[in-house]
Structure 1
């Protein structure tokens, strides 16, 4: 089956922002209450019709008794408190039934209708307020386009590395993706991410990063072009199924392009040639156990030292936004402002402390 459930070229803008909610939809509650109201009405009709001989229709004297139509009419005017009085109980037991059974049913019926109306209006008002407040504070967030397998994995990686779920917005046209994203506590914009109005709802203009993970390269290219048009400064990471489309995505404005098919193929080849090497690569790509690849700031105590002498296994140095391998002569000695790409334990161990996580002084660039 496809790697992702989203297909942006076939989607359409259907709604606005949908924030995750632990309760059921107000429309679901409305449906339940309407069913209860119908049930109360049916019970009232049956009570009157079964005991129809104890009722009198003033419009048809001197005959006693009512038919099914009269029972429906009586239940309607009674539950709605209209009470024309043309049909009335005449026997003692019928009046008792009206006093102790029909009257509570009428009260319950009115409470259901009035309460439901107020709740729906209040729920809509609360939702509009939540969305408005969310829009005001949503800046420097991450927009994830496509919530299939790759999208969920990207979100998991962000969250596991300390990113706030409230600062992640999912854009996907599928109803299934909306349910899954809400279950994960994420805000969702349902619609086609190649449309500017949909991306504006997601706050792309104020986003710090956009991750594009749909299952089609043409959709990814269109989404990349649209995002770059709305926010020329945002960092865009896009996935590509085929290597031949990488250059096109970069030309469209993607800062980083990950080729899923080639990456999987290389891992399969490495695992075939060297099972142990394949295990190490899988370990690096799996969060939470074993090894991990991370980026951290340089410490004051590390300034002027060669990368190979640090406690962490440094594999690259970021200087002036350029990446240098640890053996590159340009980074023979570390300088203020450098950032380190390291391989370290996924969880800190007593014999392998994690520099930069114990309130050490950072060597910020002067």
Structure 2
């Protein structure tokens, strides 16, 4: 198979979809890998490392899309890329369709095959291609939140762990999944007073067992949220519903119950956000303030640590990329249900129900495209 790795063009997105080591594994199996010139520079992987691994360098994004049977990316195609996507071309990347109608319509129009990292799901549950970036984003959410609590940046002027004779920061985390757990570990390590809200008792029992004493769990409901936001210094939104838009757990009216300088970090912003007032921001212009509450809503947080993120992502995606390259998307998806769940749009049909429901589009069962 011919595989193309374009340079990411989303604002301040420095990751690349494949490391030189990953490219070498695909080349060893007889596949051809084309990498756009300087695609890996932001992650610390210059062109010559890909060439030494057996990949070929192409000068432009247009040539990379034109030649490839499978495009591997990190972030969803943005508007300048829409017309580069070809009919029957396989795109393997993060899409988050349910929060972006123009992207959904563009990919339907392209009649391409869109396999989304974020909905590849193991039979017993678990999202293996979301995990590494969720781990990065969760840790970064605490790191960034701690930074923005500083007074010159708009926060309350509170040190996460305090010092003897002062109280530590109160950190409220909405969701006890991968993002929430990693955020909690970081905040706990900084000696903050941490509360995790979740709706699953088994998950909360697990977190209570593994977390240190400065981490508590509470049932996630509106009553508890309204009570806890009144004294929280840092609130991290870490809610995920696979492939669907995130629910708004914090609504606009709740901001008035928060103290001025409270910091909100919404990691779910690429799925629509679980904080109603959040809208996607960039690393270049990451924050805004509403009702005295600072919002940090960067949609590609792991892009700020691209070396770590690119290696972590390739470690997770490469086994699936090999299956797709060796067998083609249809045979690979027939044989591996995890890949089948990753299919969102196939040749103009929406085959992932949460995406169809988000925009009231016709839904087609994925099996229709896998029968032959």
TM-score, normalised via structure 2 length = 0.29
**Larger RCO: 1 or 2 (CA < 8 Å, sep 6+):** 2
Q: Bigger radius of gyration, 1 or 2?
A: 1
Flag the structure with higher helix content: 1
- Normalising by structure 1, we get a TM-score of 0.29
